[in-house]
Amino acid sequence: MTDVDPHSILGIKPDADERDVAAAYRAQAKRWHPDRGGGVEAARRMAEINAAYDMLRAGVAQAARAPARPPRPRAARGSWLAEPVRRALGPELLHALADREAVRFVTPASTWASPHAVLAVSDRRLLWLLDDAPVARVRTLAFRDVESVTHRARRRAATLVVRTLAGRRHSFADLRPHTAAAIERHVRDALLRTAS
């Protein structure tokens, strides 16, 4: 799976500021929103646009919360990922990644344990950071342990529900509906690949 470049999806330069990112998002959303027609291709493109925007927003939020640290001379953790993806993940989720693990989605979310969570979806698992938890802030769930995945969408927000083989239920709320649908498709595709 290829690495996601949210800047190219939104058609902006990597050094674009928050206003330029928001303006590019609005322009792309006006062009590709499924309510304007375009069918399956428009829905797929809108999911990419939402995921790119969410990834850049998560990166800005992580940067605002991260304490200032002096640069380290060694190679950056997650050096195989694009800089916006690393920023969106933040140091704790980056540390939880395996070497060369491809990340497809990073988006703000909320859970019952944390109203300010960050959900990441890689090529092999879900990872989430409970931002206001004092300990054990990063949780993971491998796709091989997932029994089912669904999403419930309302007008402006959706909830992704993941059930494990052990009977546990994880809910990720406050997602964009198109992002939740794209994550559901990604996880279902991964489940089909592991089943065959």
User: Over 50: is that where the pLDDT of 136 sits?
Assistant: yes
Distance, CA of 122 to CA of 62 (rounded, Å): 18
Angle at 184 between CA 174 and CA 181, to 5 degrees: 60
- Average pLDDT score, the chain: 87
Report residue 33 as tokens.
Answer: 């929103």
Helical segments of 115-176, H only: none
For residue range 28-80, what is the model confidence (pLDDT) as tens digits? 888 888 888 778 888 888 888 888 888 888 776 555 555 555 555 456 688 89
88 CB-near residues (< 8 Å, 6+ apart): 55, 56, 58, 59, 62, 106, 118, 120
The C-alpha atoms of residue 16 and residue 19 are separated, in whole angstroms, by 8
pLDDT above 90 as % of the chain: 50
DSSP count for the chain of H helices, then E strands: 5, 7
Q: Burial code of 84-115, b = ≥16 C-beta within 10 A, e = fewer? A: bbbbbbbebbbebbeeebbbbbbbbbbbeebe
Q: What is the pTM of this model?
A: 0.69
**176 three-state secondary structure:** coil
Contact assessment for residue 118 and residue 88, using Cβ atoms and an 8 Å cutoff: yes
* CATH topology for the 1-196 domain: PH-domain like (2.30.29)
Phi-psi region of 90 (alpha: psi -120 to 50; beta: other; left: phi over 0): left
Q: In sequence order, what are the residues at sequence separation of 6 or more whose Cβ sits closer than 8 angstroms to the Cβ of residue 60?
A: 18, 87
Q: For the segment 173-188, what is each residue's pLDDT rounded down to a tens digit?
A: 999 999 999 999 999 9
- Judge contact between 116 and 131, C-beta under 8 A: yes
Distance CA(114)–CA(117), nearest Å, equals 6
pLDDT tens string 11-23: 898 888 888 888 9
Q: How many Å apart are CA 61 and CA 53, to the nearest integer?
A: 12
Pull the structure tokens for residue 120.
């990441």
Give me the pLDDT at residue 173, please.
Answer: 96
Residue pair 120/106 in contact by the 8 Å Cβ criterion: yes
The rounded distance, in Å, linking the Cα atoms of 112 and 110 is 7
Mean pLDDT of 125-139: 90
More confident residue, 1 or 196: 196
pLDDT digits (tens, 9 = 90+) for 75-124: 668 889 988 999 999 999 999 999 999 999 999 999 998 899 999 999 99
145-165 per-position pLDDT tens digit? 999 999 999 888 999 999 999
